[in-house]
Amino acid sequence: MRFIDVLERINVLIGRSVSWLTLVMVLVTFLIVVMRYVFGIGWIWLQESVTWMHAAVFMLAAAYTLTREEHVRVDIFYRKLSPHKRAFIDAFGSLCLLTPVALFVLYVSWDYVATSWQIKESSPEAGGLIYPFPSLLKTLIPAMAVMLLLQGLVMLIRAVSRLLGKR
């Protein structure tokens, strides 16, 4: 079980670390508003950075959210079930729902990200973020899929362990 604990700790560390970006987003947004309405100054790259930080938080915290069981779930039935039935649903969800979706995202995003790096993509906006920032952001898409796959593996192993009465 040590292996799955390490996998989960990695997702928790990444999730907690990236959560600080939400504070940075608030501060940068405040700065943008003050600069625009008090000083009449605006920078596209700074405005884009808020959107990109939001995307980074979403993608890098998805697996963390899964570790804390705070993802969207129809809890009306789940919470009333026995631990054995919950384990079955968790195993089924990890194996038959989460894994195929994460593998699909990984597969579909691979060329998209590779192309972004190959063409040294920059923001389409004049004065927007320059290379390598767009490519770095797009790289988070397959990273999110891998992190979700690893957390799905953790959930599957724990669920099977509960089903077998080992934990």
Higher pLDDT, 1 or 87: 87
Say whether 31 sits in a helix, a strand or coil: helix
Domain that holds residue 19: 2-163
Q: Which residue has tokens 């959930």? A: 155
Categorise residue 159: left if φ over 0, alpha if ψ from -120 to 50, beta otherwise.
alpha
The answer to whether 32 and 67 have CB atoms below 8 angstroms apart is no
Please indicate, yes or no, whether the overall pTM of this predicted structure exceeds 0.95.
Answer: no
As for how many domains the chain has, the answer is 1
Express each pLDDT in 38-83 by its tens digit: 999 989 999 999 999 999 999 999 999 988 887 776 677 878 888 8
Query: Average pLDDT for residues 17-23, to the nearest whole number?
Result: 94
| Gap between the Cα atoms of 60 and 113, Å rounded | 16
Q: What is the pLDDT of residues 124-155, one digit of tens each?
A: 888 888 888 888 999 999 999 999 999 999 99
pLDDT digits (tens, 9 = 90+) for 152-163: 999 999 999 999
Sign of CA dihedral 62, 110, 136, 55: negative
Only one residue has tokens 């990984």, namely: 106
- Of 109, 162, 104, residue with least CA distance to 135: 109
